[in-house]
């Protein structure tokens, strides 16, 4: 059984899924895709990018010089896409289980706030 992927890792891989991005682009896309729940700091991002590169989940796509500074682009590898797909499936199963349990609760006429009053 695969281990649960850390949330920042999930969002970094998700940000890189459609196309290569440079570090700041990954930060922006991660924030946007997560609805602002994950905001990566540069130090955290680059440590994660180094780790994900070492694990073979991403790789360097290219380097560009912009305004005299090097901008490194990263892309998702096939192993990274497979890992992201597996985590997406794990999350989908979790979502389905929770949705089913909440639907059962509603069938009993209970709202979300009734949990404290009811002993199953």
CA dist., res. 4 & res. 102, Å (int): 23
- Is the pLDDT confidence value at 120 over 50? no
Task: Using the Cα atoms of residue 30, residue 36, residue 41 and residue 42 in order, give the sign of their dihedral.
Answer: positive
Average the pLDDT over 83-91 and give the result: 97
Higher-confidence residue of 80 and 4: namely: 80
- pLDDT-derived band at 110 (thresholds 50, 70, 90) equals confident
Place of tokens 């560009």: 64
Higher-confidence residue of 118 and 60: namely: 60
Q: What is the mean pLDDT of the chain?
A: 91
- pLDDT-derived band at 109 (thresholds 50, 70, 90) equals confident
Using alpha carbons, select from 7, 15, 21, 13 the residue that is nearest to residue 83. 13
Average the pLDDT over 62-89 and give the result: 97
For the entire predicted model, the pTM comes to: 0.85
Q: Which of 3-7, 25-29, 72-76, 82-86 has the lowest mean pLDDT?
A: 3-7
User: Residue 65 burial by CB count (10 A; 0-12/13-18/19+): exposed, middle or buried?
Assistant: exposed
């Amino acid at each position: 059984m695969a281990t649960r992927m850390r949330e920042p890792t999930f969002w970094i891989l998700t940000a890189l899924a459609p196309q290569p991005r440079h570090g700041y682009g990954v930060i922006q896309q991660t924030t946007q895709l997560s609805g602002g729940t994950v905001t990566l700091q540069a130090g955290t991002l680059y440590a994660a990018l180094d780790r994900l590169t070492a694990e073979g989940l991403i790789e360097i796509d290219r380097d560009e010089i912009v305004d005299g500074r090097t901008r490194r682009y990263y892309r998702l590898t096939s192993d990274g896409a497979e890992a992201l797909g597996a985590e997406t499936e794990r999350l989908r199963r979790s979502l389905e289980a929770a949705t089913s349990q909440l639907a059962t609760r509603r069938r009993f006429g209970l709202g979300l706030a009734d949990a404290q009053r009811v002993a199953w």
